[in-house]
Amino acid sequence: MSTNGAPLAGLKVVELGTMYAAPTAGRMLRDFGADVVKVEDPNTGDYARQWIPQKDGLSLGFSRLNAGKRSVGIDLRTEQGRELVKKLIADADVVVESFRPGRLEDWGLDPDALHEINPGLVMARVSGFGQTGPNRLLPGFGTVAETASGFANVNGQPESPPTSPPFGFADSIAGLSAAMGVSMALFNRSRTGRGEVVDVALYEPLMFIIGDMFLKYTALGEVQQRIGNSTGAASPRGIYQAGDGKYLSIAASNQAIAARLFAAMGRPEVIEDPRYATNADRLANNDEVQAMVIDWCKHAPREEILAILEKFEVVSAAVNDASDVVKDPHFQERTLVEITGNEILRNTLMPGPVLHMAGYDGPVYDGVPTVGEQTREVLIERLGLDDAELTRLAAAGVINHGGDE
């Protein structure tokens, strides 16, 4: 991994997380230079290795979140395994974990115990409902967070049932939030010398994003319902079908853009009509406004509609599918990256870092580790173990040094 200019170069992270949210946090840190050692069950590995879709037995979702990390196969259910992990953590800056609250406490790997070993340790704990509160012991995956938070209830068309997203939405946002929390804790450590615990509940970052609806209820007594592509805050806004059957989005979310949209439609006088003169007026008559935009979009192919909207500086975009994104020169230059060092994923593209920083070109995603592929490498490098000890631990089932033999 190239660390040239990487802001987190030299940072040592031990990832005890599985599935989606915690590994997302680990990837965010790795994206900016951290050395992420992923501790996995030596026999089964992270369950995410079994996710579909796969190519030649390799999970694409697992690959996206874990390319470039170093996998160490250690059985945390054994006392010897836990002692090895404690030794790794003694020399680490950050631990990211996603066990159900109480599990690490049962294993003697709770924050108090780890801070005895390493007072400067930053520990990010990602769980369904957080480390405190009546629901803290309940299991929770992203789907639970998306429903319990209120998101699914407002997602979808008015006539459709509540809808969960077809991807790891809550998990991804929680992972991003955990990485942000780690960064803040590291900054605070630079002032105090002490580490701390970052407590992330899967549902809370998602609840923040939909937070206006809770104000709407507590201030106005109104429960927000599903309203499709609208936000209920600005009009016109939505997804529209062009004359060639393709879709585009339009967001006339302030007065100037709304006026430019009507001008682009050849109807500049609409903004002077008392029914549509202000955003509040347009929302009160949103069905009529939407009908005008829907009808206008149908008059030409999508590219022609988008060209007109660009000319009038109306915020709009094509509704892209994956093939559209991959072919787009902008995304090719700025966003998409290749996983290298893995023949199965040759020429495979995925989104790279979510942030761009001057002086740092970003990481190289150099391979997807097999379970325990770097166990030998890491335990020799970090703990100074010799071949005899590694062989003994492997024979006892404590470790697996898989592809690294």
User: Which residues are known catalytic residues?
Assistant: 171
One-letter amino acid at 261 equals: L
Please give the C-alpha separations between residue 405 and each of 71, 161, 387, in angstroms, as whole numbers: 13, 52, 11
Beta-carbon contacts of residue 183 (< 8 Å; ≥ 6 apart): none
Residue 405 contacts by C-beta under 8 Å, 6 or more apart in sequence? Answer: 376
Are 73 and 375 in contact by the 8 Å Cβ rule? The answer is yes
Contacts of 268 (CB under 8 A, 6+ apart): 259, 262
Spatial neighbors of 235 by CB under 8 A, at least 6 apart, are 252, 258, 279, 282, 283, 286, 289, 290
Residue 401's Cβ-side half-sphere holds a number of Cα atoms within 13 Å equal to 19
- In the Cβ-directed half-sphere of 174, how many Cα atoms lie within 13 Å? 35
DSSP code at position 391: H
Q: Which residues contact 107 (CB under 8 A, 6 or more apart)?
A: 76, 82
Instruction: Look at residue 322 and give its three-state secondary structure.
Output: helix
Q: What is the DSSP letter of 161?
A: P
* Contact between 7 and 357 (Cβ < 8 Å): yes
Q: What sign for the dihedral angle of Cα 156, 160, 162, 166?
A: negative
Structure tokens at 310: 């660009």
Structure tokens at 345: 């994923």
d(CA 254, CA 242): 23
The answer to whether the CB of 23 falls within 8 A of the CB of 66 is yes
Q: 28 near 176, Cβ under 8 Å?
A: yes
Distance CA 297, CA 402 (A): 57
CA distance 125 to 22: 8
Q: For the chain, report the end-to-end CA distance as a whole number of angstroms.
A: 22
